[in-house]
Structure 1
């Protein structure tokens, strides 16, 4: 009888280990992506902002009332937030308008199989308060560097709470040259003549390969 009892404990232990392993594996995709790429962190891109505000509390039902745009994004695909630094397309060759259609700018043209489609949703996204002169700060954890950045701001009269974002809504306010590999990059921008809600749209053309990132940041010029 004792000989028959012995296998039971290892089976229980193995079941426990399997559950622990599954839980650990569930964290791996986020950990791998977080060490691989980057995003605009100030003013926060839409998915970075949702991760920053709710990553440790994303099951809180209060998000539906407090932050409804993030609520719909988390419900649509949580990986859009866990992979806040993976919103890019390869092989665009600089032809961004051809690769990213109107209405899909914030998802990079439904890149990554549509993972980021919730970021194209029209509505009252949380904003960062800025002035006419502000700084775009990008966190490049992998130190890819940049061939260039293009920073656009929506034209006065555009309403991000009721209108999908189109290329024609944007004004290019800054194009940079090359940046050497670095984790923290700051770009000074001036966008006069604006009040109220706007979208800052940043294109980051990484220099390690033909890889373009597309990031929407919601702002309020006051």
Structure 2
């Protein structure tokens, strides 16, 4: 009887220790989950929406919906390739480019900002597009309020087909570079163009102010 009680006490202690260890692991993981996104939070162009943001905005809350495969095949393929591309739509950055954007970003990798984990964003296809006029407003949402040294805006040349061609530097018309913007959650600026019709890609470079951090995105639009 005494031996049985001793075994029960030993087993109870072992179970308690395992529960305590499990609680510690869960607590640590919970802290990482809570604090990591805040530490890595940045921003993106939300209007006209960058490709990753459009997928997250439209499908993030129901990303397992089989309807996505038919209704939005480009987002479906991107989610299948790497869901992190959409979940981290705000963190597509590279450090230390020193302004050498073209030399640091090969043709065909512009829409992913040269990040292998976001390579699905470079795929040509029927990305969802927003109809805009030749004079339009761009909107950056920045969770961390970094501000901007500048934005550069390019538009794909007439004759470029985003449904069948991946984007290279030679496919772009340079439109404008803005001045500096102070730290803010929302930054908007106007873009004036002429002569564009139909489906195009707006390629935007954001040079953040707090560090040498560069963001590049593609937004699909239809000039109506």
Residues 194-203 or 3-12, more deviating: 3-12
Instruction: State whether structure 2 residue 163 is matched by structure 1 residue 161.
Output: yes
Q: TM-score, normalised by structure 1?
A: 0.88
Unmatched runs of 5 consecutive residues or more in structure 2:
none
Runs of 4+ in structure 1 deviating by more than 4 angstroms, as ranges, are 1-30
Distance 1:27 1:191 in 2: 43
Give, in angstroms, the shift of residue 194 of structure 1. Answer: 1.3
Count of aligned positions: 218
Superposition pairs of residues 192-203 of structure 1, within 5 angstroms: 192-203=194-205
- 8 Å contact from structure 1 (residues 135, 186) kept in 2: yes
Residue 214, structure 1, aligned to residue 219, structure 2? no
Using the TM superposition, give the Cα deviation of residue 167 of structure 1 relative to its aligned residue in structure 2, in angstroms. 0.9
Please state whether the residue corresponding to 1:200 is helix, strand or coil.
strand
Indicate conservation of the 8 Å contact 1:37/1:141, yes or no.
yes
Residue 81 of structure 2, aligned match among 67, 76, 80:
76
Conserved 8 A contact 1:33-1:86: no
* C-alpha spacing 1:56/1:26, structure 2 compared with 1 (3 Å): farther
| SS of equivalent to 1:116 | helix
Q: Give a deviation string over 1:97-152, Cα, whole Å, max 9, x none.
A: 1011111100112x2xx111010011000111111111010011111111111011
RMSD between aligned residues: 2.3
What CA distance in whole angstroms lies between the structure 1 residues aligned with 2:50 and 2:142?
Answer: 14
| 1:146 alignment counterpart | 148
Larger radius of gyration: 2
- Which residue does 1:187 correspond to in 2? 189
Gaps of 5+ in 1: none
Give, in whole Å, the separation in 2 of the partners of 1:210 and 1:88: 10
Q: How far is 1:217 from its partner?
A: 0.5
Aligned position for 1:63: 68
SS at match of 1:158: coil
Relative to structure 1, the CA distance from residue 177 to residue 221 in structure 2 (aligned partners, 3 Å threshold; closer, same or farther) is same
* Residues 198 and 221, structure 1, Cα contact 8 Å, conserved in 2: yes
- Which residue in 1 is equivalent to 2:58? 53
Residue 94 of structure 1 corresponds to 99
1:148 is paired with a residue whose SS is strand
